[in-house]
Amino acid sequence: MSPVGLLLVDKPEGPTSHDVVDVVRRAAGVRRVGHTGTLDPFASGLLLLCVGWATRLAEYLGTLPKTYRGIIRLGQQTETDDRTGAIVATHEGWRTAGVEALRRALDDQVGEIEQLPPAYSAKKSAGRRAYAVARGGGTPDLQPQRVTIHRLNLCDFSPPDVAIEIECSGGTYVRSVARDLGESLGVGGHLLSLRRLRIGEFDVATAVRLEDDVSGRDIEAVIRPPEEAVAHLPTVHLGQKEEIELRQGRAVECRVEGLVGPVAVVVAGKLVAITESKEGRLRPKKVFGG
Contact 189, 85 (CB under 8 A): no
Per annotation, catalytic residue among 10, 19, 22, 40: 40
Cα separations (Å) of 111 from 102, 151, 198?
17, 8, 19
Examine the residue annotation and report whether 22 is marked as an active-site residue of this protein.
no
- CA-to-CA distance for 17 and 37, rounded, in angstroms? 9
The candidate with the shortest Cα–Cα distance to 164, out of 79, 92, 74, is: 74
Question: Checking DSSP bridges between strand 124-125 and strand 262-267, what pairing results, if any?
Answer: unpaired
- Residue intervals in the chain for CATH 3.30.2350.10: 5-64+201-225, 68-191
pLDDT for the residue 15: 95
pLDDT for the residue 290: 62
- CA-to-CA distance for 23 and 131, rounded, in angstroms? 25
φ, ψ dihedrals at 106, nearest 5°: -70, -45
The candidate with the shortest Cα–Cα distance to 83, out of 170, 194, 163, 183, is: 194
Cα separations (Å) of 227 from 30, 63, 174?
19, 17, 30
The candidate with the shortest Cα–Cα distance to 189, out of 147, 149, 152, 161, is: 161
What is the CATH class of 233-287? mainly beta
Cα separations (Å) of 85 from 9, 23, 120, 130, 215?
26, 27, 9, 15, 35
Question: Considering just the CA atoms, what is the radius of gyration of the chain in Å?
Answer: 22
**On the CB side of 92, how many CA atoms lie within 13 Å of its CA?**
0
Q: Give the Cα-Cα-Cα angle 123, 124, 125 (nearest 5 degrees).
A: 120
Q: What is the pTM (predicted TM-score) of this model?
A: 0.93
Q: If DSSP codes are grouped into helix, strand and coil, which group holds residue 59?
A: helix
Cα separations (Å) of 169 from 151, 172, 209, 222, 275?
10, 6, 25, 27, 24
What is the CATH class of 68-191? alpha beta
Name the residue type at position 277. Answer: S
- CA-to-CA distance for 85 and 41, rounded, in angstroms? 13
pLDDT in tens, the chain (290 residues): 688 999 999 999 999 999 999 999 999 999 999 998 889 999 999 999 999 999 999 999 988 999 999 999 999 999 999 999 999 999 999 999 999 999 999 999 999 999 999 998 888 877 888 888 888 888 888 899 999 999 999 999 999 999 999 999 999 999 999 999 999 999 999 999 999 999 999 999 999 998 877 888 889 999 999 999 999 999 999 999 999 999 999 999 988 888 888 999 999 999 999 999 988 899 999 999 76
- CA-to-CA distance for 283 and 274, rounded, in angstroms? 9
- Residue intervals in the chain for CATH 2.30.130.10: 233-287
Supply the CATH classification number for the domain 5-64+201-225.
3.30.2350.10
